[in-house]
Structure 1
Amino acid sequence: MLCRFLVPFLLVAGPGLTDLPLAVDDGQFTAVALPEAELGQLLFYDPILSGNRAISCATCHHPRFGTSDGLSLGMGEGGIGLGPNRRPDPANPPEQRIPRNAPALFNLGAQDFTVLFHDGRIEVDPTRPGGLRTPLAADMTLGFSGILSAQTMFPVLSQDEMAGHVQENEIARAARQGLITGPGGAWDLIAQRVAAIPAYQARFEAVYPEIAAGRPIAFTDISNAIAGFMGFEWRSDDSPFDAVLRGEAALEGAAADGQALFYGAGGCSTCHSGPFQTDHDFHAMGVPQIGPGKAARFESHSRDEGRLRVTGLAEDAFKFRTPSLRNVRLTGPYGHSGAYADLTEFVTAHADPRRASEAYDRSQAVLVGPSFASDWRILDDPAEIAQIVAATSPDRIDLSPTEIAALVAFLDSLTGATALTGRLGVPETVPSGLPVDQ
């Protein structure tokens, strides 16, 4: 989602017509100790966490690609290489693309973020024993430091992302059998791998007193360290727009016009609200569906109904979480399916969301490797497109090229100075000795 235009559009110059959000400050972020962030950095870039020891978290969330992978839909297990240069492994090709675009990781350590993933399948819920609502329900283990830590549990269990396939390794077999928590579960097997590496054992003992006192390393310790790293590394509040919010500068020219539109007549801030430009809610924006979609094992469609698959509510069909727009220039392709490689094209499509699927230019998709039968299945089916269009909520609004350019110029002002480098950067080596994606 980018802009939800709810009122007639007027191009105006000068400051926004509504109040801007408050500036970001330290109090909005969970504090992270540097040794924990440094441990998490190594784990984030280490393929040891994947079933076949071939993929790290960074493979799909690399700083070179704005903490994403530069692809509409990624290629996880069975792929070789990084970003748009990734290709199938001839000896072990992937069975399908990853169903959704790899989301960016900026500012996820902020306390504002209480729901994650495109469909919001993990949420902060104080009524649950672990404080979180997840698809694991009653099987959810305790010990995650928060939602950012808990989100790491999904990729390592996914056969297409990091686990691999059932015949390939013990982690994939455990995950397929539903053995997740407890001795011999997938998370326990991952923890055993990490604990068997002396350099990791020593670092965990230095960071967590309970481990120094003799408690074995648990998967939650691994995920907590990774969360600490992500929160520390990709805090991003050093953009030109942040200088505006702190009263240190003002945008000029097209960027200033775009700011006025975004926070005024354009209505963009209705959904892209707050300091990180997201209401953390779910909206149906008509983004074209490409790729395999989200289907249960007994289903054969390529549909992705978004939030509906979490809530079961018909009114949630084809709704997806409002993404933060921080560093949006760096994080394409855009949309839950990564349908748009170009930011201007994405803004243009949002101006006429009901027509987006019908008028979609398929060359906007960044798909590597061979064609899969599911790539265009939804877009080739008029009945499927009609369902997406019927669920789409915003109305069409006319935008001139100048008006679109102004909005894009403002979005460019959300790019942080350290967004592509982070604070710790990419390590040269990791304790497992496995290759690091540079």
Structure 2
Amino acid sequence: MTLAAPVRDELITLGRALAFDKILSGNRDVSCMTCHLPALGTGDGKSLPVGAGGIDLGPDRSHPAGQFTLRHSPALFNLHRLRKFLWDGRVEALEVGSIRTPAGEHIASEMEAVFEFGPLSAFPLFPVTSRVEMLGTDNDLADVPDEEFTELWSRIMDRLGAIEEYRQLFEAAYAGTSFDDMSLAHATNAIGGFLASAFSFSDSPWDRFLRGDDHQLTEAQLRGARDFMTVGCTKCHQTDILDGLPGNEFHNDALVQFGPGTGDGPTGTDDFGRERVTGDPADRRRFKTPPLRNIELTAPYGHVGQFVTLRGFVEHYNNVDSTLLAYDVSQVEPLLQRTLLHNYDEILATRDTMLLPIRLEETVVDDLVEFLKALTDDAARDLSAVTPFSVPSGLPIDRAR
């Protein structure tokens, strides 16, 4: 589970600065890491993040107008192993070696040639284009029409190029190339390199157990590992347990929908998930199965953060039809509670049938939760050293205590 080759130091330095620098956002008020705080397991502790225009950090972050982003902030652990990014997989590596993104032909071949980490290098191109995430309104970037990706990315590079330290960092990371010949692909490739280097972990108790140390797991974790492999969990989570197996595809796990949605359904507050990418009705409400590494550190869980505890999320899979109908919306913040959609019949119409036979005794739930904790690398518990003290723009850095 390690990288094929170390990421060069100069690229990590550049990527780290860019990831924490609010200069990438329209109003210079939010960075990539505002919603992926290292101190909070590379998340923000909220069901749905608050991006541009937000106040405070972490679970206390809010927006004056009650605005949320559309989907939960996924954790950033071990992204180098993934081929599909974002909850609907709209940034993904194709079998032919190319990358599919929402920008289509706006990503020229010259940009794609820069991507050293495949889709991991490409996906940071898109949060900066979202008005609720980073772009905001009433600024020099926000007047670029939606879908005019090339113009927006060019303007961000103009901002960066006005700072001499950034010009030096870019040219150090890409020796022999002038900053004036670079695009935002060089910036997001550096962010990808930083993420791959800073948040890749492979020394959990489970990893050590697989390497032959039989004393790494407790009795409960051993039982949980057995149950994980027998009740059906590995049908969706192969890559989390054994290297070299496929996994992390898309499934409708019968999860409720709340929040602003993505414009789908009669009210526009539904989210059709993978169908928005493929156009296939069979993909309706399918979302990417996230990795499980360090999962005990990354609550809440689900594509809109439906479950605030790991146990609650595991319990959902005990007869998903019933647990969907019995969902307790009081576990999320009040502003989101009132947006809950009661479209349970539509959700169940396309939910994954492989989930139907699963029944979990309470003791099995206990053991499964303990096993999932065995996927935590202790080195991921304290990521305070990842956050820099300053960034080239001089803007303040978001860091949760």
Q: How many angstroms does 1:378 deviate by?
A: 4.5
Whether 2:57 is the aligned partner of 1:108: answer no
8 Å CA contact 2:39–2:384 kept in 1: the answer is no
Tell me the CA shift for residue 178 of structure 1: 3.3
Alignment-derived partner of residue 289 in structure 1:
257
Partner Cα separation in structure 2 for residue 102 and residue 261 of structure 1:
29
Which has the higher mean CA deviation after the structures are superposed, 42-51 or 269-278? 269-278
Q: Which residue of 2 aligns with 1:86?
A: 61
2:27 alignment partner in structure 1: 52
In the alignment, which residue of structure 2 is the partner of 1:17?
Answer: none
Report how far residue 249 of structure 1 moved: 3.9
Residue of structure 2 in register with 1:246 after alignment? 211
Aligned partners of 1:355 and 1:389 also within 8 Å: no
Structure 1 counterpart SS, 2:386: coil
With structure 2 as the length reference, what TM-score do the two structures score?
0.91
Question: Aligned partners of 2:241, 2:103: CA distance in 1, in Å?
Answer: 29
Measured in 2, the distance between the counterparts of 1:270 and 1:283 equals: 11
Separation in 1, partners of 2:350, 2:153: 38
Q: Give distance in 1, aligned partners of 2:99 and 2:293.
A: 25
Residue in structure 2 matching 1:371, options 329, 335, 341: 335
Equivalent of 1:191, from 136, 139, 157?
A: 157
Change over 3 Å in CA distance of 1:300–1:30 after alignment to 2: farther
**Partners of 2:358 and 2:232 in 1: how far apart?**
11
The answer on 1:65 being equivalent to 2:40 is: yes
The answer for the alignment partner of 1:122 in structure 2 is 91
User: How is 1:290-369 mapped onto 2 (pairs within 5 angstroms)?
Assistant: 290-295=258-263, 300-365=267-332, 367=333
Q: Tell me what 1:156 maps to.
A: 128
Q: State the partner residue of 1:433.
A: 394
> CA-atom RMSD, angstroms?
2.1
Q: Supply the AA of the counterpart residue of 2:29.
A: A
Q: What is the DSSP-based 3-state SS (H/G/I as helix, E as strand, rest coil) of the residue aligned with 2:92?
A: strand
**What is the CA deviation profile of residues 336-386 of structure 1, one whole-angstrom value per residue up to 9, with x for unaligned ones?**
110000111111111221123311111222x3xx726xx54443x3xx211
Choose from 406, 410, 422 the match for 2:367.
406
Cα deviation code 1:298-355 (max 9, x no counterpart): 9842111111111111111111111110011011110111000011111111122112
CA 214–274 in structure 1, closer or farther in 2 if over 3 Å, else same? closer
Q: TM-score, normalised by structure 1?
A: 0.84
Structure 1 residue 294 displacement after superposition? 1.2
Q: Distance in 2 between matches of 1:204 and 1:252?
A: 47
**Structure 2 residue aligned with 1:255:** 221
1:5 equivalent in structure 2: none
Residues 74-97 of structure 1, C-alpha deviation per residue, up to 9 Å, x if partnerless?
A: 1111211111011224xxx45x31
In the alignment, the residues of structure 2 paired with residue 254 and residue 289 of structure 1 have an alpha-carbon distance, to the nearest angstrom, of 33
Q: 1:19 aligns to what?
A: none
Q: Distance in 2 between matches of 1:276 and 1:38?
A: 32
More helix by share: 2
Measured after TM superposition, the shift of residue 169 of structure 1 is 1.0
> Equivalents in 1 of 2:185, 2:34: separation in Å?
21
Q: Give 3-state SS (helix, strand or coil) of 2:238's partner.
A: coil
Corresponding letter in the other structure for 1:159: R
Q: CA deviation at 1:47?
A: 0.5
